[in-house]
Every structure is written in structure tokens, then in C-alpha cells.
Amino acid sequence: MRTKFIGLDGYKEIENVEGLTRKPKRKSKNKPTRLERYYAERRKQGSGQLAASAILAAKIHRAERKSAPRTASSAHIRRKAAIGLAASFVAAVLCVTAVNNPFAAAGEQPAKNAVKEQKVHSIAKTNLSTAVDIEPMAIEGYGLYIDGTLVGVCIEDGALEASLQQKLDDYKAKYDDETTDEFANSVEVVYGSYSGIEIQKADDIVNDNEELLSYSLSTDIEYTQKIPYDTVTEYDDDEYTDYSETKQEGVNGKEKVVYRITYVDGVQTDSELKSVTTIEEAQDEIVVVGTKEKPDNSKTYSSSGGGSSTGTFIWPVPYTSTITSYYGERWGAFHSGIDISDGGVYGQSIVAADGGTVEWAGYDDSGYGNYVIIDHGNGYKTLYGHCSELYVNAGESVSQGDAIAAVGSTGDSTGPHLHFEVRTSGGERLDPMNFV
């Protein structure tokens, strides 16, 4: 520094402006700043003043930043202030730890289990204090609905459809290629947004809910049945009325019949005639009878005793003894008889279970189609329903074992069979299995 004396009264210090600028004084590294002293004092206090200390320290730090000169040393001071601020937070955390940890206060090391329990306790407190209600995340996927109820969700496109189709294929595997099947109840796959439900694999969803699936299967039933021959009567005026001779034996024909049968879960629910193909034509039987009246003294009378009841019943379809439906509850209604059926049963003879008088022989809208009722005169009646042909008329007497009709599928019928009932004279329907 250079000086210049001015007179005898004193002197004045003059700065040389050429390269002689004053350098700022550096503070001693060992001497703490005001902010550092403040932090040191605060660290001596308890952890309960952590928040207030941090706020006040920040205010002091901002005040020092405003009042500090914008020199090269300002950046140095700000860095030290930032370091000191961070140190105060660390010290405060250590104080909290010391308060919550009795081992640290006593100068001891906590056991591992104690530390682990302390961490769990701390986490639990944090979770409880910060817990909020969180809505389940919605996931786009494919839901399977059975009869309107959601039973599972998967995220694979087309997987549920493939798994359901495999169930249908397996169900009809033992049938021919003409067989079709489908689900008889409501089964839907719906794409949408789902939440609160576990995502599963498609096969697991279908297998777990297989018992809820209902199957409808339609298949062709083919069988060969006879074509009954017709009887043609020729008259001979030269022969008496008791004369009868077979001129040509009748021969039954053959035909192939195809029915489309529908089953729901193994129970037949529908039957539709699909086709009838003639294999062999039937040949008529020709019978010659006389028309000439005999003298009165030559008349003969029959004493066969037809129409009398034996008191016991015989099986009404000699062709087969197969029962396809029994007496009792069926398909949500009461089945008042038994159904007798088998392959090729169409057109087979129905015989009177016992002798009696034909009470009804015809067709009406009762659902029985063509049917016969025989009154056996001993408190019992029998009914023969769904016949294809009737061989008797009302009022006629029949004996046990006489052919009265042929098996058919008229009326409310799901296929060729005989519906056989046993009734009391008062109309009460009884279980035929107790009589035949």
C-alpha cells in the first residue's frame, strides 16, 4: 500500500487503483461461523424440537445469504451453510434414534432380534400413519358368464372360447360326424374391465365350473323296421259264408327309418322323423271268403268266450321288454305310465294285457295320439298310447294276448314307443310295474 502525506495536519491513505485492489479477508478454517454455532447448540437439544430447529435454521441460512457480500467467498459460505443444514438433519435423526433405542442411551449394542423387532415396529407405525384407501386396479380381460353369473376372468384372447369348444368336442367324441352339440344353458364370454377378481388360466376356469355346464346333443338314430302287409279279401259267391281260404300269403316289407334325437344332459327331449327308405316292398295277403248264405238249420255259433278277464296282466309288447321311462316324476312333471321301446319297435304288435271290452279306440288331443283303453270288468283298465295303427274299435271284446294296435309315435311323443298305463275304474293311475 502506498501513502501520500498532505500537509502537517495528518495523512490520508490513498489506494493505488492500478493492480492494488483490496483482497477480502479469509476466515479461519478453525473458527465456526454463526450458522455452524447455531447448529451445534441445537444438536444439544432433544429430538422433539427437530422440526422447529430445521425451520429456524433455514430462516437463518436465508438471512445470511441475503446479507453476505457477493464476493468469491460467498459461494464458499453457502456451501458450508448447506453442509451444516444437512448435518443438523442427521443430528436430529440420531437424537430420535437415541430416544427410541434404550440400548443406545445406555451405551449398549441391541441384539439382532431386538433391532429387527424395532424396524418392524417402525414400519408398522409408518404404514398405519400413512395408510390410505386404494381402489383395486382394473384389468382388461375376458370374463366367463354361466347363466348370467361371472365365474372367472382370463387375459388370453380366444382362450376361453377354445377351452369351451374342447368340452363340446369331448362330449360328442363317441358319436358320428353328423352329431352336433351345444350348451343348453347360457354360456357367454364377455370382454371388459374387471377388478377385485383373480386372473386365471382359461382351462382352469372351465374345469372348475364344468358342473355348471349343460349339454344339448342331437344325433341320428337309424334302424330297420318291417312294413306290414295288407290283407285283401276276395269274395266267392259259390261258397258259403263260413268259407275262407288264403289265396296268397302276405309278406312284410322292410324300410330304413332315421330319427333325429335330441338329448339334454343324457335325457331324450325331442324326436324328429328325418327319412324313411323302403328296402323291400310288402306283398299283400289275399283271402277268399264265401258269400252264400247257409240254411237256418246249418248255422254255427262261436263259444270262444272272448272278452273275459283272467285277473292277471301280461307284457303288452312281445317284441321287446326294454323300458325307457318309468312311472313317476319326469322332466318336472308326473309320468303316469311306463314307456316301452327299442330299435325297430315301430310297427310291432301291441297285445291286450288281459281280456275285456274296448272302451276307447281312436285319436284325440289328449297327447296320447292314437290310443286304446280296455275295461277288464274287474275294477281295472289299461291304456295303450302313441299307436301307429289301431286294430280294434270301441265296443269290441278282446281276449288276453289279442293284437289290438301297432307301436308308433303319434301325439306328444319323442320317438316310437308304447306308453302303457294301468288305471282303476275310478280313473286313478297305478304303477304298471306292480302288475306286469
C-alpha cell at 329: 316324476
Give φ, ψ of 284 to 5 degrees. Answer: -65, 150
Cα dihedral 421/423/428/434 (nearest 10): -70
Which residues of the chain are under the pLDDT cut of 50?
Answer: 1-25, 27-28, 46-48, 51, 71-73, 93, 95-132, 296-305
CA-CA-CA-CA torsion sign (335, 340, 342, 346): negative
pLDDT for res 115: 41
Please name the residue that has the C-alpha cell 408398522: 124
C-alpha cell at 196: 377385485
For the chain, domains (ranges, CATH) are 25-123 (no CATH), 139-213 (no CATH), 221-298 (2.20.230.10), 323-434 (2.70.70.10)
- Strands 215-227 and 397-398 come out as unpaired
Taking the C-alpha atoms of residue 87 and residue 83, their distance in angstroms, rounded to an integer, is 6
Taking the C-alpha atoms of residue 80 and residue 344, their distance in angstroms, rounded to an integer, is 109
Q: Coil, strand or helix: which one is 19?
A: coil
pLDDT for res 313: 96
pLDDT digits (tens, 9 = 90+) for 168-185: 999 999 999 999 999 999
pLDDT for res 40: 66
pLDDT for res 20: 42
> Does pTM top 0.85 for this prediction?
no
pLDDT for res 103: 44
pLDDT for res 238: 85
Let me know if 209 is exposed, middle or buried by CB neighbors in 10 A (0-12, 13-18, 19+). middle
Q: Give the Cβ contact number of residue 354 at 10 Å.
A: 24
pLDDT for res 119: 41
Taking the C-alpha atoms of residue 220 and residue 260, their distance in angstroms, rounded to an integer, is 5
